[in-house]
Structure 1
Amino acid sequence: MDEKDQQIIRALQRNGRMSNQDLAAEVNLSPSPCLRRLRLLEQSGAIKGYSATIDAEAYGLPVTVFVRVSLENHTGATVNQFEKDIARVEQVLECYMMTGTADYLLRVVVADLADYERFVRRRLHPIGGIASIDSSFVYGVVKQTAVFPRLD
């Protein structure tokens, strides 16, 4: 991936609905080479898809919780089962394997505190193999972006 491909990606991260004409102008290419590069980025998997950025509060899910999960043990079966089960939980928008004290970090969205309690009782606890759950509630957002930094 060269610098021009990175410019295309950053432009699309800012506005995934821009036309090829606008994209080409922004990255200083003519439309045909720009479209060719875009298609190659899609085919290679560098661009995985396109989506809209939605206001969670307007949607009805104003509470974001970061949940640290530690497993009871780290056998292949326990890890595979947890990952398989957590992938099916709609409230979990992101799940990361972590170093440090917790094994996983989840980003969860819910309607309110009662909804979070239901999530823990009905979705997390039934997974099994979980040693601990530590929750941190977001009460403000300082920065949120989907645009990668420039590579120097």
Structure 2
Amino acid sequence: MSKLDQIDKKILNRLQEDSRTTTKELSSEVGISTTPVYERVKRLEKDGYIKKYVALVDKDKVERELTVFCQVSLKSHLKKNIQQFQEHMLGLPEVMECYHMAGNFDYLIKVMVRNMKEYQKFVVEKLTTTDVIDHVQSLFVMGEVKQETKFPLK
């Protein structure tokens, strides 16, 4: 994997702001011609700096108004339990993010659903159907202060 220079960082910063930025626009912004910009973007993709391109959807417009962070503790930390829990999370579309944690609980998951009734159904019919979970603590988001997807690269 190659080291990033300032032009690579400018390209990555711009694509994080708007992944639909054209090669021509990038070329103008970073001060090199379109062919080298195109080659750099392809290299950044190949080297894994750019994982994928996505559209950020307004959660309210698609009726995902309730965001819940769940602190999950497992019954034991056996490798098979960890694998079973992680595989279970991968199959739940309501789970937007899942992090293996150190501290007072084992996992932090971010769940997005329409409302409280749908969250209750999710917990009863989906989340807790695996027998490796010991405890779930739900934290309900009252309002978003900051949500960022861009890593500032300098």
Identify the TM-score tier after normalising by the shorter chain.
over 0.9
**1:58 corresponds to 2:61:** yes
Q: Are positions 1:127 and 2:134 aligned together?
A: no
* Per-residue deviation, 1:144: 1.2
Where in structure 1 are there 5+ consecutive unaligned residues? none
SS for the counterpart of 2:111 is strand
Residue 42 of structure 1 is matched in structure 2 by 45
Render the CA deviation track for 1:51-70: whole Å, top value 9, x for unaligned. Answer: 10110110111111111111
**Deviation of residue 141 (structure 1)?**
1.0
Q: Count how many residue pairs are aligned between Structure 1 and Structure 2.
A: 151
Partner of 1:69: 72
Segments ≥4 residues shifted beyond 4 Å: none
Identity within the alignment, %: 36
Question: Which secondary structure does the structure 2 equivalent of 1:58 belong to?
Answer: coil
SS in 1 for 2:61: helix
Report the Cα offset of residue 25 of structure 1: 1.8
- TM-score by length of structure 1 reads 0.95
Once the two structures are superposed, what CA deviation does each residue of 1:48-106 show, in whole Å capped at 9, x if it has no partner? 11010110110111111111111110001100000011111000011011111111111
**Selected match of 1:81 from 71, 79, 84:** 84
TM-score, with length taken from structure 2: 0.94
Letter of the 1:130 counterpart: I
CA RMSD of aligned residues (A): 1.1
